[in-house]
Chains A and B, each alone.
Chain A
Amino acid sequence: MARDLTFLSATELGGLLAAGQLTSVELVQTCLARVQAVDGRVHAFNSYDEAAALVAAHESDARRAAGQARGPLDGIPVGFKDVIAVAGQPLTCSSRMLANYVSPYDATVTTRLKAAGAIPLGRLNMDEFAMGSSTENSAFGPTANPWDLSRVPGGSSGGSAAAVAAGELPLTLGSDTGGSIRQPAALCGIVGLKPTYGLVSRYGLAAYASSLDQIGPFARTVDDAALLLQAIAGHDERDSTSFKAEVPDYRADMAKRFGPWRIGVPKEFFGAGLDPEVGAAVQAAIEHYRKAGCEIREVSLPLAAEQAIAVYYLIATAEASSNLARYDGIRYGHRAAKAKDVVDLYFQSRAEGFGDEVKRRIILGTHVLSSGYYDAYYLRAQKVRTLIRNEFAAVLKNCDALLSPTSPTAAFKIGEKSSNPLAMYLTDIYTISVNLAGLPGISVPCGFTAAGLPVGLQLIGRPFDEAGLLSIARHYEQAHDWNSRHPNL
């Protein structure tokens, strides 16, 4: 084909499909060719099932030919972070523990995407069990940032972000527990949305920290993120924390919202540790909204800024130590070959199956839940979490959204922070509090450093007001052309 589909948005691709100018089979083949051309260098994919994707694409084309296309996602390939179940496909969590695991059922998001006609394509690399901020913790090797292959793509959903940035897929799903969608979106120069806790079902998402985990979309445009969110959002009785929220037609709703908005700027999110180039790009975004007639309010979130990382690493590791107790080498997952009895089998299987960061977090989480430490660590963290939620609720009474950098720096070098866990944890300083409060957050591209690395702008919204948040993000996006630049691979 003469035309270049590589960096078209899902909305544009859907238009071509609807107009009969493109088939899903052609589109899937184009994506597969791109994967074959660049993924040896990027390593966004852990695996992909070419035959299954082409079968689904043929079915999509047959539906369309019969006048039964299912909507804007019918025939569009969507990649999955390797932590979300697709029946019959591997689910590794980028861990040796699950290296040979095959999902026996579909996650709810998978069921919904299949019903919308989307083509599941690829299992995308990640930090092992979603624990990390750089995708260096994968048992199968790191993913590279498509803008600079010597740098990280962010994490933990680094493969999902890199696949979109590298032109391998138009849409992917990730999961975000402390920033794992927004931070890699920022570092890879694309859009990433973490929905309100409870909006998207967690059924079929391998659990890391259940009170914080949310599945969300990566896309090239805000419209595309809304399109993918539309398909996956909504109540699911198989997730007991799923909320019975009314799901609006996001794109129709966005078309009616033009602002001006009241935008809060948390002063503590612009302090020490913020790279000057990132700060300047975000300040320019503030000026965009000010010139558009928005009211810019300085707000204060002292606990979110000062205490969120401490709260997160107590709550998330406590939940992880409990969730990962299921990997015992008995029913599924890695089983050690040499064990002297069944208890030794647990010890050895877990020692062989888990990587360093996972072991560290299991130890920390077990410690903070253990007798004598529970009140001082876990319970206290849960109380400070309440105060952080209240702090956000208070400022969002008078603001439609909050604006900050997504990450304090652009992409760092592979290996730069991997020996210092605390330094790695601090890269999530602007995103983590949003998970603690359960709010929706989005990262949209807002410029490049002098070295050509993408910078992300984070917007934080009110609970279940994804339509408002997406509208505010799109207002900025449409006045800029950052997403017209692509990495040279």
Chain B
Amino acid sequence: MSAGSDLNIDYVANLARLALTDEQKTRYARQLGDILHYVDKLKQVDVTGVEPMAHAAPVFNVWQDDVARAGLSTEQALRNAPAQRQNMIVVPKVVE
């Protein structure tokens, strides 16, 4: 496991599609460095042969019958769209 200095904040911010200011990068790197240093304590635990746990519910595969049901109307689904035209969401041009 790595210490906080391994955090490449430009690389991670790009993966997260998050624009950060220089001030945020410096501050988050310091704060997250403290947190990554703190979580390094997990190294002390012997996890040999231990199964990872995804969630706590004793529920595994959940199946439902493939039956069509009413969903949101177009109007409802588009109600929160930032920009729309003719029942479609408007976005900046993707292909030049």
Binding site for B on A (CB under 8 A): 100-102, 104-105, 197-198, 210-212, 237, 240-243, 303, 306-307, 309-311, 313-314, 321, 325, 328-335, 339, 341-343, 345-348, 350-351, 354, 356, 359-360, 362-364, 366-367, 370, 373, 376-377, 379-387, 389, 421-422, 425, 436-439, 463
B28 contact set on A, CB distance < 8 A: 359-360, 363
B86 contact set on A, CB distance < 8 A: none
B39 contact set on A, CB distance < 8 A: 310, 313-314, 377, 381
Contact flags (1/0) for B29-52 with A, using CB distance below 8 Å? 001101110110110010100111
Q: Does B89 contact A (CB under 8 A)?
A: yes
Q: Does B68 contact A (CB under 8 A)?
A: no
A330 contact set on B, CB distance < 8 A: 82, 89, 91
The dominant DSSP class at the A interface is helix
Give Cα A243 to B24, complex, Å. Answer: 42
Given contacts A240-B62, A367-B12, contact A376 B2 (CB under 8 A): yes
Give Cα A321 to B13, complex, Å. Answer: 11
Query: How many whole Å from A466's CB to the nearest CB in chain B?
Result: 15
Give Cα A20 to B24, complex, Å. Answer: 59
Tell me whether A313 and B12 are in contact (CB under 8 A).
Answer: no
Give Cα A350 to B36, complex, Å. Answer: 24
Query: How many whole Å from A207's CB to the nearest CB in chain B?
Result: 12
Tell me whether B17 and A343 are in contact (CB under 8 A).
Answer: yes
Selected from B19, B42, B59, B80, the residue in CB contact (under 8 A) with A243 is B59
Tell me whether B91 and A380 are in contact (CB under 8 A).
Answer: no
Per the CB 8 Å criterion, the residue count for chain B at the interface is 52
Q: Name which residue of chain A comes closest to B77, CB basis.
A: A104
Given contacts A339-B92, A373-B2, contact A241 B55 (CB under 8 A): yes
Query: How many whole Å from B32's CB to the nearest CB in chain A?
Result: 5
Query: How many whole Å from A465's CB to the nearest CB in chain B?
Result: 14
B6 contact set on A, CB distance < 8 A: 373
Q: Name which residue of chain B comes closest to A421, CB basis.
A: B31
Tell me whether A363 and B32 are in contact (CB under 8 A).
Answer: yes
Q: Name which residue of chain A comes closest to B29, CB basis.
A: A363
Selected from A210, A366, A373, A382, the residue in CB contact (under 8 A) with B53 is A382
Tell me whether B76 and A350 are in contact (CB under 8 A).
Answer: no
Tell me whether A366 and B15 are in contact (CB under 8 A).
Answer: yes
Selected from A198, A386, A389, the residue in CB contact (under 8 A) with B59 is A198
Query: How many whole Å from A107's CB to the nearest CB in chain B?
Result: 14
B2 contact set on A, CB distance < 8 A: 373, 376
Query: How many whole Å from B84's CB to the nearest CB in chain A?
Result: 10
Given contacts A101-B80, A382-B52, contact A341 B93 (CB under 8 A): yes
Give Cα A366 to B20, complex, Å. Answer: 14
